[in-house]
Amino acid sequence: MSLVGKKAPWFKETAVVDGEKIITEFTLEKYAGRHDVVMFFYPMDFSMVCPTELIAFSKRKKDFEERNVKLIAVSCDTEQSHLAWLQIPVEYGGIKGVTYPIVSDKNKTMAKNYGVLTGDYYYDDDDMLRADSPTMVAFRGLFLIDRDGVVRHESINDITITRDVDDVLRVVDAFQYYREWGDVCPAGWHKGESTVKPTWGQMSSYLSGDKKEK
């Protein structure tokens, strides 16, 4: 089930912030009423592709801040794993220099509640708890959460498919433009281009027979 239009699932988890500090009760509520949030899940620390995404978002952090948007990353690794990875330079496969919060979803409850966990648990015939996935990690889910805590956009990729930061910014721009001006943005729209007034007047006129087809 999509979360779009619904309140973002609540959480209070441990996170590493500013690349070095462990916060034990990190929550979305700290941004409530003041900031939109882009929260993205990634499969795991110390992997080959995930650092390219975290670094790509880090390089564009200023662009998000100019739009009053906070970035949050989440994986099912521990906060100790996050912190260790943050100490390793980028040229050696680390993510040193990333300063936005990285949340530890070590109980996998966030991934489950946001619909991005790669598998599920079940009891077999011997009443033993099993996992139906060889690796219980998060898909590459991304959620745009507005300042009221409502999910306005979501995308979920398989772990092999990475994301494009420019397109995430485009989605943010489209949402914020509509919120401020009430105009909707056509396909392929980018900030500064023409928008569309959300009206059915012209089509209604045609359907009612007031205008002839050209």
Q: What span, in angstroms and rounded, lies between the C-alpha atoms of 38 and 142?
A: 7
Domain for residue 59, yes or no? yes
- Residue 47 maps to which CATH number? 3.40.30.10
The closest of 42, 41, 71, 49 to 59, measured between CA atoms, is 71
Kindly state the average pLDDT of the residues 150-171: 97
Domain for residue 29, yes or no? yes
In the chain, count H helices and then E strands: 6, 9
Judge whether residue 201 has pLDDT over 60.
Answer: no
Largest interatomic CA distance in the chain: 71
Residue 214 is predicted with a pLDDT of 42
Domain for residue 146, yes or no? yes
Domain for residue 137, yes or no? yes
Domain for residue 36, yes or no? yes
Judge whether residue 212 has pLDDT over 90.
Answer: no
Domain coverage including residue 69: 13-161
The predicted-structure confidence for 27-43, as pLDDT tens digits, reads as follows: 999 999 999 999 999 99
Kindly state the average pLDDT of the residues 187-198: 78
Any idea what the Cα angle at residue 57 is, between residues 143 and 40, rounded to 5°?
25
Annotation marks residue 76 as catalytic: no
Please pick, among 16, 39, 50, 110, the residue that the annotation labels catalytic. 50
Domain for residue 206, yes or no? no
Count of domains forming the chain: 1
How many other C-beta atoms can be found within 10 angstroms of the C-beta atom of residue 125? 5
> What pTM, to 2 d.p., does this model score?
0.89
The predicted-structure confidence for 83-142, as pLDDT tens digits, reads as follows: 999 999 999 999 999 999 999 999 999 999 999 999 999 999 999 999 998 889 999 999
Residue 186 is predicted with a pLDDT of 79
pLDDT above 90 covers a percentage of the chain that reads 79
Domain for residue 106, yes or no? yes
Domain for residue 145, yes or no? yes
